[in-house]
Amino acid sequence: MSDFATVQDVINLKRSLTSEEQTRAGYLIPVISNLIRVEAQRTGRDYDQMIAATPILADVAKSVTCDVVIRELNTPGNQLPVASYAEAAGGVSQSYSLPNSSGAIKLWPTDMKALGLKVQKIDALNLMKPRERCF
């Protein structure tokens, strides 16, 4: 099982990275790749087999992996666990909303949908059928 992206993929698809960010991205990519595999297992699928059956899913997994890496790199570690914060100097103020306030490495619902792992369950309760009684 290989990773779904490389540090070079993050640089090519998203933005240039500092050497510290490249090191951190190198650690994040295998974790995110395995997170995708675990989420697929939760839906009863094997993502590596899905890629083998539909090779274009490899590009989707690469894109999602790069997105999650950038989200992690853009979340300042010294501001956690807040959802937003503000800075002011003189008459100028700036407020920020953090994309990942908990600091947890996680896939967003949009990531799951892109990967084809968003599961919708439809269930119905038949109200017309009499219940069996347990005496």
* Exposed / middle / buried, residue 121 (Cβ in 10 Å: 0-12, 13-18, 19+): exposed
pLDDT of residue 77: 61
3-state SS, residue 96: strand
Question: pLDDT for 55-106, tens place per residue?
Answer: 999 999 999 999 999 988 887 665 555 566 677 888 888 876 665 555 678 8
Give the residue, 47 or 85, on which the prediction is more confident.
47
Helix (H) or strand (E) holding 32: helix 19-42
pTM of the prediction? 0.72
Q: Where are the domains of the chain?
A: 7-76+105-115
Structure confidence by residue, pLDDT tens digits, 81-90: 556 667 788 8
